[in-house]
Amino acid sequence: MLAAGRGHISDLQLGPPLLPTILLIFVSIGLLSPYIGRKYAGTISVIKFTIPFVYFTKTDTLIWTIGDDVNYYLTSEKLLQNLSALEIYSITAPELISNIIGSTHSLYYWYNIIIMDVFGSSYAVPVLGNVFVTTLSGILFYHILFEIKQNRAYAKYGTIFYLLHWDVLSWSSFLNIKDILVIFFTMICLLSVLKIARENDTSTTKLHSMILVIITAMFWYLRFYAPAFIFGAAILWFISRDKTHSFFAGGLLVISLPILQVGLASASNYVNIGFIWPGILTFSTPVIPFQLTSATHGFLILSATLNWIFYLPTVLVGIRLFFTSDRGRLLLIYLLLVLLFYSVVPYLSGSRQRFQTVFVFAWLEYHFLWMYFPRLKMEYRS
């Protein structure tokens, strides 16, 4: 068994490969152009990939690390050296890797192994891969906003805002962490729920139900309890709307109960109900910038400052949208469930866990700008 433990920073190869970076930039431009236009797609893609490329080119050691990021890289690198190509690219690879590392959370290691096998075994490679995943998340964000507002201009500029959001740039540009994939999978699921609610035909329901099943299975190897938030939000949202999708909501409940049971059993030693109110306050508020240490979370100082600037408007907009936006309420219920869970599990609560809800906060911040800046609003309507 290969134990997954903290590695040594001195063992890291940091240098980013130039050609894969250029390739990912052009692919990102191609994917984003239909949604936000070639000019915005080009500018944003260059910015997003240049930040980590310059960072890893100019440094000989990691300036910022949280431990897990180093472990993901070193363990994946060792697995890459010991697994055959047939084993790496087999659909059973997550189960095989789980047996080797002694943990069910093997999907992100598999992701690291594949991308390093293709582009090189530098620490920067999976980080660049994560930046690319945020591009894909941006496309999902576009579709989610369109489902909520049915306005392509609103979705377009909201996507630009999300792609350049300070938290998205900060967390994806410097660390090799699995939360980027967690966000991506979560957005797929929430978009599928919105699609099922909008379309009443059986084929659409079957398609997106299958997507939910597949992503839930993948979550088991990534962050097994995450679907409980998604399904819980969907169930509460469907119940709050009408009885049209009661059968579907019941199906989600059946799926989510065993996930919730396993999650509660795993977290039982860490649950602290008495901490709920301090926990809600801690998780719902951004981290205080001067509390961030340069060795671990110094990269968040700017984003934490901006989060505080937007904090009160975000709360007020969120309250308003909860009562006025039928489809947006799904995202807000999801946010509340995540908030409640981490508020009673302070051991797991932190800025990294808060980051998995970044797409909800980005939407609220963007909607605030859309509401209270008439010039922007006029441009959207034009």
User: Do 298 and 172 share a structural domain?
Assistant: no
Q: Which residues, in sequence order, are CB contacts of 356 under 8 Å at separation 6+?
A: 179, 182, 183, 186, 226, 338
- C-beta separation of 292 from 301 below 8 A: yes
Structure tokens at 148: 């909520």
User: Do 108 and 8 share a structural domain?
Assistant: yes
Q: CA distances (Å), 318 to each of 44, 88, 204, 363, 368, in order? A: 27, 44, 30, 9, 9
pLDDT tens digits, residue range 37-49? 999 999 999 999 9
User: Do 171 and 282 share a structural domain?
Assistant: no
Supply the pLDDT for residue 264.
57
SS3 92: coil
In this structure, is residue 167 part of a structural domain? Answer: yes
Mark 324-338 as b/e (b = at least 16 C-beta within 10 Å). Answer: ebebbbbbbbbbbbb
Supply the pLDDT for residue 346.
73
User: Do 20 and 125 share a structural domain?
Assistant: yes
User: Do 160 and 58 share a structural domain?
Assistant: yes
User: Do 133 and 3 share a structural domain?
Assistant: yes
Q: Identity (one letter) of the amino acid at 133?
A: V
CA distance 191 to 206: 14
In this structure, is residue 349 part of a structural domain? Answer: yes
Supply the pLDDT for residue 1.
46
What angle (nearest 5°) sits at the alpha carbon of residue 323, between those of residues 318 and 326?
100
In this structure, is residue 187 part of a structural domain? Answer: no
In this structure, is residue 236 part of a structural domain? Answer: no
In this structure, is residue 182 part of a structural domain? Answer: no
What residue ranges of the chain have pLDDT lower than 50?
1, 3-7, 378, 382
Supply the pLDDT for residue 236.
87
Long-range contacts of 193-198 (CB under 8 A, 24+ apart): 193/230, 193/233, 193/234, 193/237, 193/330, 194/144, 194/147, 194/148, 194/327, 194/330, 195/147, 196/245, 196/248, 197/237, 197/238, 197/241, 197/245, 197/327, 198/147
In this structure, is residue 173 part of a structural domain? Answer: yes
- C-beta separation of 124 from 132 below 8 A: no
In this structure, is residue 200 part of a structural domain? Answer: no
Q: How many domains does the chain have?
A: 2
User: Do 12 and 157 share a structural domain?
Assistant: yes
CA distance 109 to 33: 31
H or E segment and range at residue 83: none
User: Do 289 and 155 share a structural domain?
Assistant: no
DSSP per residue, 194-253:
HHHHH--SHHHHHHHHHHHHHHHHHHHTT-TTHHHHHHHHHHHHHHHH-STTHHHHHHHH
Domain boundary among 124, 145, 177: 177
Domain boundary among 154, 177, 200: 177
Structure tokens at 248: 């579907």
Domain that holds residue 300: 269-382
Supply the pLDDT for residue 6.
46
User: Do 127 and 20 share a structural domain?
Assistant: yes
In this structure, is residue 322 part of a structural domain? Answer: yes
User: Do 276 and 172 share a structural domain?
Assistant: no
Domain boundary among 177, 202, 222: 177
pLDDT tens digits, residue range 269-290? 667 776 777 777 778 888 887 7
